[in-house]
Amino acid sequence: MLSNRLAVLLTTALAPAVWGTTYLVTTELLPPHRPLLAAVIRCLPAGLLLIALTRTLPKGDWWWRALVLGALNIGAFQALLFIAAYRLPGGIAATVGAVQPLVTAGLSAALLGDRLTLRTVLSGIAGVAGVSLLVLRAGARLDAAGVAAALGGAVVMAFGVVFSKRWVSPAPLLATTGWQLTAGGLLLVPATLLSEGAPPTHYTADNLLGYAYLCLIGAALTYAVWFRGLRSLPPTSLSFLSLLSPVVATLAGWLVLGQDLSPLQALGALVVLGSLIVAQTQRPHRAAPPSTGPGPGPDLRPDPVRENA
């Protein structure tokens, strides 16, 4: 059982590791000032490809559930991610985004009945501290809209993880992934046209390479791996894996761009990895279901489907 859990953890960790290269690809290969276009091209073609391969469409409640999950996990998150990447230095964006495990832990306690332990809180705080040591630079430029985008991305992704844990689709994993990528991409299209206008008519070879990487590797492959892990792992444990992204981003900058790697950054990486390991060694505890007060409240009961369907 332990070896199986470890295998799932290592496989799922590939997704945030690949996502750690997003900032490098965005700044080095993509056209400037087109964050929403980057999000659309990353998600929509990947979703349509997966739907074409599986030839499976949602049924019943899964039409609106796929829309909600696609908006949280893909559409809103990707838009906020790229806005933060364009408006903030990578260190600030990563540090703000590192609060996601803490937000997920709080939402899991409130909506899923998971117990919020001191170990989880301390691991989350250590993760934020480690990321700040790893990537934050003195004198980094603050941008209010960029900080809000980074924080909003962490929050919507946390909601997406928690609701994905409750709404487990009976359809094949690749089909469900395709639904969410397509829904999120379609929701981004009108926002992209309104805020950025028509797409450019000319793309360089670097632009095409960057978009292809983000679409095929950074979306179609990694989201399938991520959602597969979510079916087996507690949401808080899954969210702590996202701390790997700034670690990989720093290593990519060092290896590809020749950026310096200081002893303080190395210490930050060790703190991040330590917080991640500590978080994974704790088994989830389910508390009594929270009261919703008067009225029916939101329907957060799990589907009558086994999580490994």
pLDDT in the model for residue 289: 43
pLDDT in the model for residue 90: 63
How far apart CA 173 and CA 169 sit, in angstroms, is 8
How far apart CA 79 and CA 150 sit, in angstroms, is 10
Tens digits of pLDDT across the chain (309 residues): 457 888 889 999 999 999 888 878 988 999 888 888 988 999 999 999 999 999 999 999 999 999 999 999 999 988 887 788 777 766 677 778 889 999 999 999 988 888 888 989 999 999 989 888 887 765 556 678 888 888 898 999 999 999 998 888 889 999 999 999 999 999 999 989 998 999 988 999 999 999 999 999 999 999 999 999 998 889 999 999 999 988 888 888 888 877 777 888 889 889 999 998 998 886 655 544 443 333 333 343 334 333 333
Using CB atoms within 10 Å of the CB of residue 90, give its burial: 0 to 12 exposed, 13 to 18 middle, 19+ buried: buried
Hey, what are 211's tokens? 């978009």
Contact status, residue 81 vs residue 214, Cβ threshold 8 Å: no
pLDDT digits (tens, 9 = 90+) for 64-73: 999 999 999 9
Regarding pTM above 0.85, the answer is no
The backbone torsions φ and ψ at residue 286, rounded to the nearest 5 degrees and listed phi first, read -100, 120
Contacts of residue 224, defined as CB under 8 A and 6 or more positions apart, other chains included, come to 50, 173, 174, 177
